[in-house]
Structure 1
């Protein structure tokens, strides 16, 4: 795995844990390797069942040991038929129950969105939904604010370009089945997210947008979301071990796979997580062989056996690019996101919650589908390794060299360097704080872009205007510039649904780390001065003495508040953070407010010290620096929505 992918996987994992859970008509040309209808010479024969089974067994068993995975399942389809399906490990360790690809129900998290998008397209082909109409046309129980002149449409929801911020802290999931099922309408109204950019402008993966689409399915069809998906998708395809109900219905409960975490050298059972009112974004629980039926239906343009879930023209529309950051890079289809894997055009979707990781890959031109799901451990690394090994074996490609470019392009490399942050982030609530840890830094190294350092450094060379390719590899990075030529956005070819934008100074983690580091040194100096100079301080007039004591108190409180931020805010368990606001967080949020009060008094005493000439000149300068440090630290808490109770 390249350093770039390692870093992005880590950042995506952070965003996934924070927020829970994760597109033009005709395909457009790309700079990536062309799709080949036949494998390169040296490709293994996918129809060799014995070799395929041995190959998958070796990978899965190795990954389960390496990534401490308790249970996994995989299904592969080709030419309208299941080609391979197998379970690994246990669905319930306590009773040594093995994973069964036919019946074991894995929670597929955001892969559920494919059911939602399929339901939407069924209503589109029936003429009940217009992809380009204002979604408020279909909503009966809530109204999306008209923040911008352009309305949000279903096309925007399906391509994640509606322009919503992301949210989730305190309400994204629940482990309390008594809170279910939860009204989609009430949930979306209660946790209405702010519109932060005009629709259609830029992709930003959105659970809220997918849930809104599910609500529209309810209000247009007259059926509940659960019943609609069951009747018009699962029943039609004969998917007997599939549900979007939460909790899993009683008849399917014996087949539900238990989720685990690795703790103290053993697998620990964890409570099931539920999406509640956000279920169109991630409530699915499905077996591998039932997902095989769903994959075959999409690969065959809506048909499975004698049944059909979509008309051919509707399926082709759904599988075609509907939004592209750059026409030379993979884009977003209507619900699926595109990948280029060894020259093959792949349409895909994955899902992750705190306990399960799932990936689904379809190769329409080859009539191949692959589904894999893991019940714990590092499933993200496992799925990435599996997909790479699969495509390297069955669709190998020769490493290509970077094509020569003009000196003019190489001269402009410096302008692309800098800090970038994901468009998928929060602006209005406490959630914003967590995005500070998910930024991406790119450096210019000669006439190349550099990612990582030392042995893991990865270089990207310019191959066209605003387009770079991995040196010695195939991955590409695209950029967008404004009318003046200034770089505004960046996109990775394997992450079409979540581009990045330039990080302004006040959002840069390096800026705040530096400011807090310098402030911390000054706070410690104020505390040490109180101890080292205590005899001299005792002889000072009371106003001066009180000012110094307050400086030490404010410094100590600022340090304590920063430590509490790490221990309490960053130390919250993922499920705890997403399922509710703990009392400790409510109490912690008093600390930044107290700091602001101390800072105001400190600044007042600082001004008084200069007016009345307290202490020596160096003493007054030091006091001023401490006061400014307190002000800067207070600004940190204000900027990252930690000043007050900003819950979504």
Structure 2
């Protein structure tokens, strides 16, 4: 196979030169605008969007018909060092875009026979001290976990392992094998059931590359991908090498009208999030993926592996976007694109390809500004691939819409770890599905009509929405939007954030009232009930006040560097609360209390029990969940 690939590389190099010569005389792609307009478009769009969204620096590269047709840097890469952004040499942290390279590295091993896409990964992990954990709902009839699941985010791994993935000290990063040994937890779902935006599986895929090649992941990617493609301004190495740092952009946040630099960090889960790269390096990668794996006379993958990488591997519905190996699908203005985005602290980036049109782009900026990337993407498609609006949807209701009403939450959050607290902080979107009298739905701010069984379309756009039932026929999931990330799970009546916040507020009021009540009771026979009730109330109030203060003064990325001491202290309070609650219940049950006192102390204990259930829901009990 290797000999065939070498011959194939030579033939493609010759044919590539011939096709490039022919391309000079003939247009290659049918776009709404000419290729010569790409540079002007990029310049006008990026400058306007930087002003609109307050972006300190950005870089963009557009590729079409086998060429880099636009590549430019804008603004400041590092304001303190007066370093301007250069599309060729300025490096950005691209976070999730790293996964494209990891998928390529894994597929290279598949092509060489060192890994198999459909083999149980434990076959390879037996060579290390790791073993893939079972899902918490795993049965003997479930499929084995395979490499294909890792590359398409259908492995079922819980997304919650962000705590400790970043380190500030250059001496702190640990080996990939050790990091996985310390952090792998039971999977949330069996494989191939759901797309979950988790870094766990793709990091594990990077470790499989290390096992197959018997060399460090970063070293392998540099030798087998970066060097062949001429990507001389890219690195996975952690900590970031000294020779790279002078060209590394600084991330910023905009606060109070001023740009504040974000801390530099090293990444433990580097196959998923550790890449630093430049715009033109990513353009070279994009060209290789749009040209059957080859660029500049070098091939990093054979054509059939590239086709497999870009092919849909999972989708919640045939008409909705899904996931490929290393990419996710998007539909923009009716065109299928495959993309991967990065959301590092102080950085945003996007690599997007339209394989059917042989075109793509990479864009990055050094500020947390999702709208900048989204607006550029929409402007690009509006300019070159305008929307083709179809006929308004014809309602064909066949489903009882009352089964669909309820609250749904975006599923890509931690279900099994302390990071589930992100739900309480309001960082995980929830939507209501409301049924209209005519059988249509209101989800978010849109009206949806059913066009096929359980398939709905927005009345003012071509966006689709669908539902999935479980084995017992109950609606379990809602899938919405133009990308596979719009997976939402149905919540029980007590799970919506608004309900749990109301419960927490009610408990807080009960604890304050409980302290007052117990403080007014001085009878000797009530001393154990009194002091345990006071201790229970004070412990829970300290937890509530401390959690509120930490939320108010913490950045979203704070916990990625590990749990601060204040958080570790707070995480110990639920255990103390459980002890106080047990003592209070025992004292109330064993003491000969007057009826009024028993009702008062019982109410405090009841509020304590409800509060403990809330803490358990957020994985604060048992302590082992932390």
Structure 1 contact 68–377 (Cα < 8 Å) conserved: no
Segment drifting more, 163-172 vs 340-349: 163-172
Gaps of 5+ in 1: 1-36
Specify the SS of the correspondent of 2:80: helix
The alpha-carbon distance between structure 1 residues 546 and 137, as it changes in their structure 2 partners (threshold 3 A), is: closer
Q: Is the 8 A contact 2:528 2:584 kept in 1?
A: no
| Whole-angstrom distance in 2 between the partners of 1:48 and 1:371 | 18
> Is residue 574 of structure 2 the alignment partner of residue 592 of structure 1?
yes
Whole-Å separation in 2 of the counterparts to 1:320 and 1:169: 29
Distance 2:188 2:413 in 1: 10
Do the aligned partners of residues 494 and 136 (structure 1) sit closer, same or farther apart at CA in structure 2, a change above 3 Å counting? same
Give the deviation of 1:555 after TM superposition. 2.9
Paired with 1:179 and 1:394, the residues of 2 have a C-alpha distance of 46
Contact 1:323–1:333 under 8 Å retained in 2: yes
> Are 1:405 and 2:413 counterparts?
no
**Mapping of 1:529-608 within 5 angstroms?**
529=517, 534=520, 537=521, 541-544=523-526, 547-548=529-530, 551-568=533-550, 571-607=553-589
Any idea what the Cα deviations from partners look like across 1:463-484, whole Å, max 9, x if unmatched?
Answer: 2112122220122222111344
Give a deviation string over 1:250-301, Cα, whole Å, max 9, x none: 333321111122344322222212212x111111111101111100100111
Is the Cα contact below 8 Å between 1:479 and 1:487 reproduced in 2? yes
Once the two structures are TM-superposed, the CA of residue 521 in structure 1 deviates from its matched residue by 2.8
- Partner of residue 112, structure 2: 126
1:193 aligns with 2:181: no
Q: Find 2:204's aligned residue among 203, 212, 217.
A: 212
Name the CA distance, whole Å, in 1 between partners of 2:465 and 2:585: 47
State the Cα distance separating 1:605 from its structure 2 match: 4.1
Contact 1:606 1:620 (C-alpha < 8 Å) held by counterparts = yes
5 Å-filtered alignment, 1:165-244, equals 165-180=158-173, 182-244=174-236
Cα deviation for residue 341 of structure 1 reads 0.9
Q: 1:514 to 1:160 in 2, by over 3 A?
A: same
Instruction: Tell me which residue corresponds to 1:369.
Output: 360
Query: Which residue in the other structure is 1:501 paired with?
Result: 489
Greater CA deviation, 392-401 or 558-567? 392-401
| Aligned twin of 1:6 | none
Aligned to 2:336: 345
Query: 1:272 matched to which residue of 2?
Result: 264
Q: Whole-Å Cα distance in 2 between the matches of residues 209 and 407 of structure 1?
A: 39
Cα RMSD after superposing both structures? 2.5
Count of residue pairs the alignment pairs up: 588
Residues 203 and 498 of structure 1 are in contact (CA less than 8 Å); yes or no, is this contact kept in structure 2?
no
Cα deviation code 1:210-269 (max 9, x no counterpart) = 111111111112222111111111111111111111233333332111112234432222
2: CA distance, partners of 1:375 / 1:273? 14
Structure 1 residue aligned with 2:381, among 382, 391, 397?
A: 391
- Say if 2:97 is the partner of 1:99: no
Give the Cα–Cα distance (whole angstroms) in 1 for the partners of residues 556 and 594 of structure 2: 52
Instruction: After superposition, give the CA deviation of every residue in 1:331-352 in whole Å (9 maximum; x if it has no partner).
Output: 1112211111111110111111
TM-score by length of 2: 0.88
Does residue 503 of structure 2 align to residue 512 of structure 1? no
1:589 aligned counterpart, secondary structure: helix
Q: Structure 2: how far apart are the matches of 1:633 and 1:146? A: 31
Distance 1:106 1:314 in 2: 28
Taking the TM superposition and a 5 Å limit, the aligned residue runs for 1:407-556 are: 407-409=397-399, 412-436=400-424, 437=426, 438-446=428-436, 447-452=439-444, 457-497=445-485, 499-505=487-493, 507-529=495-517, 534=520, 537=521, 541-544=523-526, 547-548=529-530, 551-556=533-538
- Structure 1: distance between partners of 2:224 and 2:574: 52
Per the alignment, residue 316 of structure 2 pairs with 325
Query: In the alignment, what sits opposite 1:625?
Result: 603
Q: Partner residue of 1:255? A: 247
Q: How much does 1:158 deviate?
A: 1.0
Of 612, 617, 621, the match for 1:639:
617
Structure 1, 97-106 or 214-223: larger mean CA deviation: 214-223
Query: Which residue of the partner structure matches residue 291 of structure 1?
Result: 282
Structure 2 CA distance for aligned equivalents of residues 151 and 571 of structure 1: 43
User: CA offsets per residue over residues 347-403 of structure 1, 9 Å max, x none?
Assistant: 11111111211111100111111111111142x111111111111121112444542
> 2:25 corresponds to which residue?
none
Kindly indicate whether the alpha-carbon contact (under 8 Å) linking 2:414 and 2:420 is maintained by their aligned counterparts in 1. Answer: yes
Q: Is the 8 A contact 1:71 1:99 kept in 2?
A: yes
Q: Is the 8 A contact 2:322 2:329 kept in 1?
A: yes
In structure 1, C-alpha distance between the alignment counterparts of 2:543 and 2:448, rounded to whole Å: 41
Aligned pair in 2 of structure 1 residues 597, 251: CA closer, same or farther (>3 Å)? Answer: closer
How much does 1:570 deviate?
Answer: 6.8
In the TM superposition, residue 587 of structure 1 has moved relative to its aligned partner by 1.6
TM-score, length-scaled by structure 1: 0.85
Which moved further from structure 2: 389-398 or 111-120? 389-398
Report the 3-state secondary structure (helix = DSSP H, G, I; strand = E; otherwise coil) of the residue aligned with 2:372.
Answer: helix
Matches within 5 A, 1:16-55: 44-49=32-37, 52-55=38-41
Q: Counterpart of 2:461 in 1: which secondary structure?
A: coil
- How many Å separate the matches in 1 of 2:192 and 2:527? 60
Equivalent pair of 2:511/2:538 in contact (CA under 8 Å): yes
Q: Which has the higher contact order (CA 8 A, sep 6+)?
A: 1
* Residue 246, structure 1, aligned to residue 238, structure 2: yes
For 1:166 and 1:568, how far apart are their aligned partners in 2? Answer: 22
Match of 1:160 in 2: 153
On the 8 A contact 1:428/1:646 being kept in 2, the answer is no
Q: Structure 1's 116 and 498: CA in aligned 2 closer, same or farther, altered over 3 A?
A: farther
